[in-house]
Amino acid sequence: MPSNQNIGFFVTGTDTEVGKTIVSGALLLLLQKKYSQVIGYKPVVAGVTIIDGQLQNEDLVTLTRASNHPAAKDITNICPYVLEVPSAPHLVADKNQIELDYTKMLNGFRNLEKQTDAIIVEGVGGFRVPFHQNKDSADFAKDIGLPVILVVGMRLGCINHALLTIESVLNRGLILAGWVANTIGPMNLIDENIQSLRQLIKAPLLGTIPHLNPELASTPYTLKALETVANYIHLPE
Ligand SMILES: Nc1ncnc2c1ncn2[C@@H]1O[C@H](COP(=O)(O)OP(=O)(O)OP(=O)(O)O)[C@@H](O)[C@H]1O
Ligand SMILES: [Mg+2]
């Protein structure tokens, strides 16, 4: 891949809490090996905790750590809406009388896309999470048009969730660039499940992430954790 060409991926998941952030961070590190201006973006986050003495969102701290473009140091550049309560973003925004301005979310992405040569956009929750203005996160994926990477959280039910998500991605004319199997917990017949998914998904498996020890799995993710995960996955060809 030539380094003067823009590249980017939209990372979605079979559900919330399946490993989109850890995969996004690892992909950013892999991109840093080829590109000098790499950044993460997320259109909205919900939930803050005290990190390094400040109220921050864990996903954004991870995305900042894994980015090498200076714009990532200012959180407002990598996410226009940081909501405090961890719940469905449109509902938290309603409670706080905040309007999630869809154009602002798109413009935040476009600004970064112009300044950088590689971008990873982490989706919100699963593929279709409501925003305001009759938009949802799938509209956002479609409007930015990046190839999609699906993180499958390996647990009972994930085949159904993966297939429904992929149907929804493809129905919007988006490209599925690949998928990642993330071992979020113990699962019966996990190898067979991954094998079935390989047969059913017409996009490459980019890697299988093992269950991580609590130190590596703790959030916000350290660079060491993201480097570990980067060893298990690869960028789409
Ligand atoms: N391979 C793994 N091994 C152990 N724990 C994991 C693994 N992947 C993710 N987790 C744990 O699962 C939780 C969710 O991971 P992560 O935050 O990356 O998911 P997400 O899809 O980005 O969630 P959200 O929808 O909140 O953005 C975290 O607490 C993390 O520690
Ligand atoms: Mg996340």
Whole-prediction pTM:
0.98
pLDDT at 18 over 80: yes
Check if 95 is active-site.
Answer: no
Q: Among 10, 11, 15, 17, which is best to mutate for testing ligand 1, by the most ligand atoms less than 8 A from CB?
A: 17
As a whole number, mean pLDDT of residues 43-68 equals: 97
CA separation for the pair 97, 153 (Å, rounded): 33
The amino acid sitting at 230 is A
CA separation for the pair 63, 121 (Å, rounded): 9
pLDDT at 214 over 70: yes
The number of the ligand nearest the C-alpha atom of 14 reads 1
Q: DSSP assignment of 208-231, as one string?
A: EEPPPPHHHHSSSPPHHHHHHHHT
pLDDT at 3 over 60: no
Residue nearest to atom 7 of ligand 1 (CA): 184
Of 81, 100, 38, 40, residue with least CA distance to 64: 40
Q: What is the CATH number of domain 7-230?
A: 3.40.50.300
Q: What single-letter DSSP state applies at residue 13?
A: E
As a whole number, mean pLDDT of residues 30-39 equals: 97
Q: At what angle do helices 20-32 and 58-66 cross, to 10 degrees?
A: 10
CA separation for the pair 86, 148 (Å, rounded): 25
Percent of the chain at pLDDT > 90 equals 97
Domain positions in the chain are 7-230
The number of the ligand nearest the C-alpha atom of 89 reads 1
CB 161 within 8 A of CB 16: no
CA separation for the pair 127, 183 (Å, rounded): 19
Q: What is the pLDDT of residues 143-188, one digit of tens each?
A: 999 999 999 999 999 999 999 999 999 999 999 999 999 999 999 9
Which distant-in-sequence residues (6+ apart) come within 8 Å of 48 by Cβ?
Answer: 55, 56, 57, 82, 84
Mean pLDDT of the residues in the chain: 97
pLDDT at 67 over 70: yes
CA separation for the pair 99, 43 (Å, rounded): 13
Q: Which residues of 132-167 are buried (b: 16+ CB within 10 A; e: fewer)?
A: beebbbbbbbbebebbbbbbbbbbeebbebbeebbe
pLDDT at 5 over 90: no
